[in-house]
Amino acid sequence: MAHKIELPRRTYVRTIYNFFPFPLSNSKKKFIGNWVLRGRKMESTNSFRLRKQALKPIETARSSASQRDEEEVSKNNGQRTCEEEPLSPSSRLYHEPNFNVYVIAIMGCKTRIYPDVVKANLGHTLLRHPRFSSLQVENNGEMRWVPTEVDLERHVIVPELDQNMDSPDKFLEDYVYNLSKTTIDKSQPLWDLHLLNLRTSQSEAVGIFRIHHSLGDGTSLLSLLLACTRQMNDSKALPTIPIRKKKDKKSDRIGIWRILLRFWFVLQVFWNTVVDVFMFIATALFLTDTQNPLKGLPGSESTPRRIVYRTVSLDDIKFVKNAMNTTINDVAFGMTQAGLSRYINRICSENKKDGGATETNNLPKSIRLRSNLLVNIRPAPGIQALADMMEKDAEVKWGNWIGYVLLPFTIAVREDPLDYVRNAKAIIDRKKRSLEAFCTFYIADWALNLFGIKAASALSHKVISRTTMCFSNMVGPVEEIGFCGHPMAFLAPSSYGQPYALMINFQSYIDKMTIVLSVDEGTIPNPHQLCDDIVESLQIIKDAVMTRGLA
């Protein structure tokens, strides 16, 4: 702290004289001296009052609101409150009867889960997000977020389990299956957490998050969940999510060649976008996938889902990626194409009257099979931003801005297994050079504003139901993390309520990749076989890489 130096009065006056560049007469010196000393006397008597006024905070609506928010947070056990605001059009879309989707996140833990510890942490993490402490109330045809006090006893469910049951893995699978038959009561915020202290083949206990899709898109919700976790080797550190660094493209081409390359890139983006938008409109009007063993029947959105998963080595996927100079997403897509081809080929061979061999090609000549990706074109908030929001009341952008991407799958029996990955890379590289997601978002937004929520819901339902499946690949933490202090063994996200019979999610965690299938058993009666086919396809592709000496 700086100290103020007080000078004697005469010395102070002489110091003032020195600032004048010309000599002063005695009368002028006397006048200046009396004026300065009188001013110093006034300062000494009024300085405390003036400084106190200068430091007084300015009362604004924002500061008052922040103070009230902090008081409300302390009263509500860490829960934040917010003003009422209307639901976004995309959030309202998920309340339509044919689009009532829930996100499921199965978390395997390495230790027993203590519910009291989880509840204590939720009050200071997840409940600080306004969406998780608000009701969705409809009034005069408009739905609004209405803040409420959350009763964690209604949201955190801890069933009593028989620890000596014969098949804990089957029990967990059936538990999630029965959960997909139900919805969450709208008299409370639309999320819940089921804690099962059940030892399975992969974990000592399991937590199941269920969140209505109107609260956010899958990527943002998963990021929010990870923002509630911390690294096990550092209780204050957030999970580390790898970010793909763009390669520095050093080119010797200068001048006209660089301009031509950029023009060619822009032309590709324009052409691919036009073709993709045309295919989207055609799908909304009439174009549907070929009937195949994976395509659901009308009404699939109301059927319960069997969610199964397998875990493979992420190092095996990276081994193929590095050998073929591709990405992890390319390999995941390629092994999925190979697995689906194996499964459909087997079904087609069983349906033949003469019982065709599964090793031969029993597929129809051409199969149109597409995946529908719902892409949030709003940049997803990072884990750090979400953690700051929950800890420091920072503001983040949140909400569904949904665009559509139609991803074609090539179903074929190939002699070279590596062709599945090469084909996958070609398809994904082409989709990267397209503005399909942005254009389809604006088409859906235009339909919503022009014709209303019912028409927008019908448009979305037609586009999705005329494709076969959904496919996604999400990146997870690279180190071990803990949820409320419980070390996590695996993470398996999925969903139910969507109008297709198959959904495939890839989720990485440390050195593992979990493949999660959500299926309608009426269409796919043997989901474990389909999951095994995808896993075996990775091994076949890896063996082919080693045989050819590409590694």
Nearest to 539 by CA among 244, 310, 200: 310
Q: Which helix (H) or strand (E) holds 405?
A: strand 402-409
CA–centroid distance for 165 within its chain:
35
Question: What are residue 257's phi and psi, to 5 degrees?
Answer: -65, -40
In sequence order, what DSSP letters do the residues of 40-75 get, joined into one string?
Answer: HHHHHHHHHHHHHHHHSPP--HHHHHHHHHHHHHHH
- CB contact burial 478-515 (16+ within 10 A = b; e otherwise): beebbbbbbbbbbbbbbbbbbbbbbbbbbbbbeebbbb
399, two tokens: 């909400």
44, two tokens: 């000494």
Q: Is 213 a catalytic residue?
A: yes
CA–centroid distance for 221 within its chain:
5
Q: Which amino acid is at 539?
A: Q
DSSP state at residue 232: T
| Pairing verdict, β 502-509 and 369-376 | unpaired
In sequence order, what DSSP letters do the residues of 182-226 get, joined into one string?
Answer: ----TTS-SEEEEEE----SS-SEEEEEEEEGGG--HHHHHHHHH
Question: Cα–Cα distance between 164 and 178 in angstroms, integer?
Answer: 21
Instruction: Find the catalytic residue in 155, 213, 461, 486.
Output: 213
Angstrom CA distances, 507 to 102, 213, 472, stand at 18, 19, 9
Angstrom CA distances, 370 to 207, 291, 292, 373, 466, stand at 32, 11, 11, 10, 9
Question: What are residue 536's phi and psi, to 5 degrees?
Answer: -65, -30
Do the beta carbons of residue 12 and residue 40 sit within 8 Å? yes
DSSP state at residue 480: -
Q: Which residues contact 270 (CB under 8 A, 6 or more apart)?
A: none
How many CB atoms are located within 10 Å of the residue 399 CB? Answer: 18
Q: Which residues are catalytic?
A: 213
